Amino acid sequence: MNGAEDMVIRIRGLENRFGSHVVHEGLDLDMRRGEVLGVVGGSGTGKSVLLRSIVGLRRPDAGRIAVFGEEMTGIDEHRRAGLAARWGVMFQDGALFSSLTLRENVEVPLRGVEGLDPDTRRALADLKIAMVGLPLDAAETYPAALSGGMRKRAGLARALALDPEIVFLDEPTAGLDPIGASAFDRLMRDLVQALGLSVFLVTHDLDTLYALCDRVAVLAERRVLATGTLDEMLAVEHPWVRDYFHGPRGRAARKTSPNAPQAR
């Protein structure tokens, strides 16, 4: 496929405001089927707000969002629920329910599947737990007893529960040590390849960008300032983009990533 048919997310003229504070204004963005799109930007640029707008957790003040070719603005709840079953969301720190075990957390999306009996639901949850590299003996554990990395993986298992086409990741490696973050990046790379996922990735982690992303979208000045490959980002002259990609952390990420482009 190509052209419009290849776009799983299309955003035009998006506006988000909180009172008099304008977060997004005239924001346009496309995401292609099968790609990993990294969304970066400084604090307050509305990266997570953008994600929440796409998945319907926030109603934008203006603009249009289409997912799988369906306009999300004004869509009825039944149709929205059908579309939502085709994506999964992993929030920061996993956003697990503290009163539920790891397995019960993963089962939450499965409970909405009509005709799915408890035994099958449990088996599917255990499959997703194994898929993200967690030991099955952790399934009965409550979130408070899990490490930060395990909570991240549990949140990912829940996001994958319904075999989604798109996975939204909100700062998936935030708070992890470098070894844990690198392990999570490898896991995501393997899952993207094995499952053919499209991934919308909000992150500030340059190592994750270089490990996973096909393209990057930079949020600045209330809009998407630039989109392109990591190689193309190195040529952008905007001060924030240059500081981000050419600064010490950017140079270190390029040095440690075997496929990273080099600054010219």
Does 76 reside within a domain? yes
Strand 166-170 versus strand 87-90 pairing type? parallel
Does 115 reside within a domain? no
Which residue, 224, 262, 223, 257, is CA-closest to 246? Answer: 262
Q: Give dist(CA 88, CA 124) in Å, integer.
A: 15
Which residue, 199, 196, 194, is CA-closest to 156? Answer: 199
Range of the domain at 27: 4-86+164-256
Q: How many domains does the chain have?
A: 1
Contacts of 47 (CB under 8 A, 6+ apart): 39, 40, 41, 202, 219
Q: What is the pLDDT of residue 22?
A: 96
**What is the pLDDT confidence band of residue 4, given thresholds at 50, 70 and 90?**
low
Q: What is the pLDDT of residue 19?
A: 94
Q: Give dist(CA 73, CA 64) in Å, integer.
A: 6
Q: Give dist(CA 205, CA 38) in Å, integer.
A: 10
Does 146 reside within a domain? no
Does 57 reside within a domain? yes
pLDDT at 3 over 80: no
Backbone φ and ψ of 8, nearest 5°: -90, -20
Q: Are 228 and 221 in contact (CB under 8 A)?
A: no
Does 59 reside within a domain? yes
Q: How confident is the model over 131-189, as pLDDT tens digits?
A: 999 998 999 999 999 998 999 999 999 999 999 999 999 999 998 999 999 999 999 99
Q: How confident is the model over 198-207, as pLDDT tens digits?
A: 999 999 999 9
Contacts of 48 (CB under 8 A, 6+ apart): 92, 170, 171, 202
Q: In the chain, what is the greatest distance between 2 CA atoms, to the nearest angstrom?
A: 58
How far is CA 118 from each of CA 122, 123, 124, rounded to the nearest angstrom?
Answer: 6, 9, 10
Instruction: Supply the CATH number for residue 186's domain.
Output: 3.40.50.300
Does 188 reside within a domain? yes
Work out the mean pLDDT of the chain and round it to a whole number: 91
Q: How confident is the model over 40-76, as pLDDT tens digits?
A: 999 889 999 999 999 989 999 999 999 999 998 878 8
Does 218 reside within a domain? yes
Does 20 reside within a domain? yes
The one-letter amino acid at 179: I
